[in-house]
Amino acid sequence: MAVLCRVRGRSSIRSWLYTIATNVCLTASKPRPIRMLPSGLTGPYAGPDRPPIPVAAAEVSWLEPLPDAWIAPPADDPAAVAVDRESLRLALIASLQHLTSGQRAILLLRDVLAFSAAETAQILGTTTAAVKSGLQRARARLDELELEPAELLEPTDQRARALLNGYIAAFERSDAGLLEQVLRSDATLEATPFRDWQAGRVTCIHILDAYVLGTPGEWRMLATTANGQPAAAVYRRDADGMLRADGVVVLTATATGVSHVVKFHDPALVATFGFADVLTH
């Protein structure tokens, strides 16, 4: 470590590592389209009743959830940066769809990882003035989206945990009635890799009840957190009776219920969150 410090002069190891990681990510993102959620593609589906139709993998580059454990510092590390969950939610849910790669990098480094403007400029190889201007434009864009983070509940809030438990119970019992107690009247539901998404509790519950819930015991969910929000690793019972990884679901919990549900249909994500591919009990 002493050698690395000498190599980087006055730069900290943390800043040096983020410089490398950020530049790699920015380079990798140049030839790729912006990652999206279904709601970033079109309005809510209002056509004939039918199951959601998946989009070909080549058509859309989908957003993925981020385990909180990858960003939140250990509680016993006094030197670690305290991550603001509100900033994390905004950066990982909305900004990745609506900001340029440069604005995303600035927002993450400044508002999520708490680097100073000067440190961010050094990491990105630009000026402090450019960082301040980029952050201002990023925040202005988020304001245009009319996000209301103040009403969101922390994942550790007992009300948020109760909502997550209720959502899990609804699936594990195949009980659409439980969703009535969990979802807000204006709730929205979307899932990758499906283009269609639904708005309104009645419509959301209908889609889930008609095409997703299945029979009691078909689903199993294990609570976790993602993007600063309550979430669950999702398992589905296959034809052999095995509970196999199916993906991750993330809930937006508010004091009046769940306002937004995003299901990421990717079995590999379950391992990303530290869970087994198959449940044995």
pLDDT of residue 178: 95
Estimate to the nearest angstrom the gap between the alpha carbon of 185 and the chain centroid: 22
pLDDT of residue 148: 52
Q: Which two tokens stand for residue 41?
A: 């593609």
pLDDT of residue 82: 37
Least confident of 117-126, 251-260, 265-274: 117-126
Most confident residue range from 12-26, 65-79, 109-123: 109-123
CB burial string 104-132: b at 16+ within 10 A, e below: bbbbbbbbbbebebebbbbbbebeeebbe
Q: How confident is the model at residue 163 (pLDDT cuts 50, 70, 90)?
A: very high
**Digit-coded pLDDT (tens) for 143-156:** 776 555 457 788 88
Instruction: Return the SS3 of 65.
Output: coil
Residue 94: closest CA among 81, 109, 107, 110: 107
Q: How confident is the model at residue 122 (pLDDT cuts 50, 70, 90)?
A: confident
Class of domain 2-32+72-149: mainly alpha
Beta-strand (E) ranges in the chain?
Answer: 183-192, 197-199, 219-226, 229-237, 243-254, 257-264, 278-279
Domains 2-32+72-149 and 152-279 share a fold: no
Task: Give the CATH fold of the 152-279 domain.
Answer: Nuclear Transport Factor 2; Chain: A, (3.10.450)
The domains of the chain are located at: 2-32+72-149, 152-279
For the full predicted model, state whether its pTM sits above 0.85.
no
pLDDT at residue 72 tops 90: no
Least confident of 3-12, 56-65, 90-99: 3-12
Terminal Cα distance for the chain, rounded: 45
Q: Which residues pair with 260 in a beta bridge?
A: 188, 252
As a whole number, the mean pLDDT across the chain is: 79
Span 23-44, average pLDDT: 62
Q: How confident is the model at residue 268 (pLDDT cuts 50, 70, 90)?
A: very high
**CA 138/CA 120 separation, integer angstroms:** 15
Contact predicate 260/187, CB 8 Å: yes
- Within 10 angstroms of residue 136's Cβ, the number of other Cβ atoms is 12
